[in-house]
Amino acid sequence: MDKDISVIIPIYNEQDSVFELHKRLTASVGSITSNYEFVFVNDGSTDNSSYNLIKLSEANSKTFYINFTRNFGHQVAVSAGIKFCQGKVVIIIDGDLQDPPELIPKLYDTYKKGFDVVYAKRRRREGETFLKRWTSKLFYRLLERLIHFKIPLDVGDYRLLDKKVVQALNKMPEQNKFLRGQVAWLGFKHTHILFDRDSRKHGNSGYSYSKMFRLAFDAITSFSDKPLVLVTRLGFVISFFTFIVIVFAMFSHFVLKETITGWTSLIISSMFIGGIQLLSIGIIGEYISRINKNVQDRPLYIIEKSNIELDQFSEET
């Protein structure tokens, strides 16, 4: 029942890519083994992706699809894929042909040398805006400072995972997923190979800036408490600063006999404190919202339809 290789492909409005992707994947993975499966997770696409995927899976017995009832997000789509696959090796690849399927044999060869995680690291990123590259770079540098384990830089989600890693990932219960961080947190023996990332062939990026910000917040709050520590320290620093100002004001009033007057200083200081307070409440709120989501313990996604026998996986996780 075990497959040698499972390929997980999250799909959000990729109707024009799926056929070419399927063809290239078949050639690439087929050159390694014939015992493979492709699991397409259709994350609530509003185009014809669903229809195309069902057609593909009807024509190919090794092709499976999972249809979500709506758009639950990329991380969730990948999480579903890795839960419902049977491979001894699991490969995660984007569905927009930015990650070349032809790299898979190289990923697999590297895996065979004795690694549990093989990342595909981007040497070049074609067709992505300056702002996207720059924000992503900034974010990973910031994240690196906030967490206490190493997170590989300039890697996307294109990667190969051993079954051990996938089983460990499936056991991680958090609701707000940040898989790149989770895989790095797990440790295991890992390495990377370099590749040039193509630009998107069809359609537009499904990652809006708001989705990217959400991911960034989830990444930080799942792996670091430092923002909370920062808030506390900021509180101390500002209290100290305020204390000095009070002492100075009293000194000036009683000793120098000069009372400091002024609306400006008053308004500036109260606005400053107000801003810091809102920021701090916001940061604390992010953590509370995480707790809230995890306490609710809702399913991560709802599956509308699939040609996988989903029940067989229930006792494993």
Report, in angstroms and rounded to the nearest whole number, the Rg of the chain calculated over CA atoms.
25
In whole angstroms, the minimum distance from the beta carbon of 172 to Mg ion comes to 25
Positions in the binding site for ligand UDP (CB under 6 A): 10-12, 14, 43, 71, 73-74, 77, 94-96, 98, 205-207
Task: CB nearer to ligand UDP: give 18 or 118.
Answer: 18
Instruction: Identify what 10 binds: Mg ion, ligand UDP, none; CB under 5 to 8 Å per kind.
Output: ligand UDP
Q: Does 96 bind Mg ion (CB under 5 A)?
A: yes
| Assigned token pair, 309 | 């026998």
Task: CB nearer to ligand UDP: give 110 or 205.
Answer: 205
Stretch that binds Mg ion, among 52-60, 93-101, 120-128, 158-166 (CB under 5 A): 93-101
Q: Does 14 bind Mg ion (CB under 5 A)?
A: no
> Using CA of residue 226, residue 231, residue 232, residue 238, what is the dihedral sign?
positive
Among 98, 176, 221, 222, the residue binding Mg ion under the rule CB under 5 A is 98
Task: CB nearer to ligand UDP: give 68 or 111.
Answer: 68
In whole angstroms, the minimum distance from the beta carbon of 45 to Mg ion comes to 14
Instruction: Identify what 84 binds: Mg ion, ligand UDP, none; CB under 5 to 8 Å per kind.
Output: none
Task: CB nearer to Mg ion: give 16 or 174.
Answer: 16
Task: CB nearer to ligand UDP: give 22 or 74.
Answer: 74
In whole angstroms, the minimum distance from the beta carbon of 316 to ligand UDP comes to 23
Phi, psi of 202 (to 5 degrees): -130, 155
Q: Does 17 bind Mg ion (CB under 5 A)?
A: no
Task: CB nearer to Mg ion: give 49 or 98.
Answer: 98
Stretch that binds Mg ion, among 23-31, 90-98, 181-189, 238-246 (CB under 5 A): 90-98
Task: CB nearer to ligand UDP: give 53 or 186.
Answer: 53
With a CB cutoff of 8 Å and minimum separation 6, the contacts of 207 are 74
In whole angstroms, the minimum distance from the beta carbon of 113 to ligand UDP comes to 28
28 within 8 A of 5, measured Cβ to Cβ: no
Distance CA 17, CA 49 (A): 9
In whole angstroms, the minimum distance from the beta carbon of 43 to ligand UDP comes to 4
Q: Does 306 bind Mg ion (CB under 5 A)?
A: no
In whole angstroms, the minimum distance from the beta carbon of 71 to ligand UDP comes to 5
Please name which of 185, 159, 136, 122 lies closest in space to residue 6, comparing C-alpha atoms. 159
Instruction: Identify what 99 binds: Mg ion, ligand UDP, none; CB under 5 to 8 Å per kind.
Output: none
CA 100 to each of CA 67, 158, 159, 254, 312: distance values in angstroms, whole numbers, following the listed order:
24, 9, 12, 75, 32
| Assigned token pair, 113 | 């040398």
Residue-wise burial string across 40-79, b where 16 or more C-beta atoms lie within 10 A, e elsewhere: bbbbbbeeebbebbbebbeeeebbbbbbbeebbbbbbbbb
Please name which of 199, 230, 214 lies closest in space to residue 293, comparing C-alpha atoms. 214
Summarize as ranges the residues that interact with Mg ion (CB under 5 A).
96, 98
